[in-house]
Amino acid sequence: MYVYSQLRTAVGTLIRRTTFVFLVAAGAFCATPPHVPGRLLAGRRASLEPSLEARIWRLHGAVERRHLAPLGVHVLDVPEEASEAIRQSLQQSGLFDYVEPDYYAQEGASTPNDSYYGSQWHLPKIGSSAAWSRTTGSASVVIAVVDSGVYAAHPDLAAKLVPGWNFVKANADTSDTTGHGTAVAGAAAAETNNGIGVAGVSWASVVMPLAVTDSTGFAAYSDIAAAIQYAADRHVRVINVSIGGTALSSVLQTAVDYAWNRGALLFAAAMNSSSGTPNYPAACKHAIGISATDESDSLAPFSNYGAWITLSAPGTDILTTMRGGGYGYENGTSFASPIAAGVAALVLAANPQLTNQQVLDILEQTADPVGRPGFDPYYGWGRVNAARAVELAAPPLRMTHAPDVRPPHRP
């Protein structure tokens, strides 16, 4: 009782003295408070006698919200305007090991500070910010870019490249011959949150440039197949091929199967002739053919379509990295494909144990149904949604593989 009497006197004095100061100063703290308003955490290793504990709370105008007994933590609701005075009073009582506000923690940065991020409409469209709250990718998830090479001195790509190969020149010179590969690489994995330029879908992924096109933009099927094999042999899980041809090819199918059997996901552009003509490798079995959508989630007017499309992704006015070190807008399924590939890289970063089939199932099941319900020949299973895909991928996995009910169309 003596302890209680002394505490009551001290509390009254301290609260009267402190509350006035606190209220005068409160106007300077109108921003979001760094702690839960009106909540304190009081820690005591040894338990208090229950009746004394109740009196202490009552004396301070506090209500015990929760008692984390194994941790010795009392979670208290108190009047916010007097919370600092109450905190000091409880601390000075000598009955508690510590008394502190219930501070806020914050999710990892989900809005990057890249100077042109606000002009990248496609990233909010696919739910990138929410996805980045869970993961910004992983350097262990390599994205192979089978294309024209990559401009290695670009400030948003220089730190993101791992050694690749030039299949046209048969050497390690993967410098960009047309600029196409640099733009593709930036869409997938540009350096992000570095205060300059643009953001990529998978911040932390690295890029393996595999050059297969000549200076005119043409690539031999044999070089594309060799590049796919090269990536698969080096355990690359995500491969992007933003080139294609209309000739059905056993060699491309063999290469795609080879990569799939080694756990890789191969994303390929549907190409841009506004037709349903299959393009390869996008139309190969086990390839993930990507059509392009615009800001209103309509099929881009240039995009190909058909029963061979797997998914869709934004592909108009994509602000990305350019050869020479600058930035510019690009249109085409060539840029929809690496955006989808970037989402797959985020999924694998969130759960590296996933098989390629599980990743594909996740992408299909979480895509936004921008076309008709179920499979749509213009959008496949829908437009990719990074936020939903990453959420579903997080362990424990909560989905099952559904059979593909598309019309038969692939060789």
User: Annotated catalytic sites, by residue?
Assistant: 147, 180, 334
DSSP tag of 404: P
CA separation, residue 256 to residues 225, 249, 250, 342, 401 (Å)? 8, 11, 10, 19, 21
Cβ-contact 183, 335 below 8 angstroms: yes
CA-to-CA distance for 247 and 365, rounded, in angstroms? 31
CA-to-CA distance for 313 and 333, rounded, in angstroms? 8
CA-to-CA distance for 281 and 269, rounded, in angstroms? 8
CA-nearest of 39, 273, 327 to 155 is 327
Cβ-contact 103, 34 below 8 angstroms: yes
Task: Give the residue carrying structure tokens 């262990």.
Answer: 140
Q: How is the beta sheet containing 98-103 ordered, strand by strand?
A: 63-68, 73-77, 35-43, 98-103
Find the length of the chain. 411
Tell me if residue 64 falls in helix, strand or coil. strand
122: CB partners within 8 A, 6+ apart: 313, 314, 318, 339
Q: How is the beta sheet containing 142-147 ordered, strand by strand?
A: 165-166, 206-211, 142-147, 238-241, 265-269, 287-293, 311-314
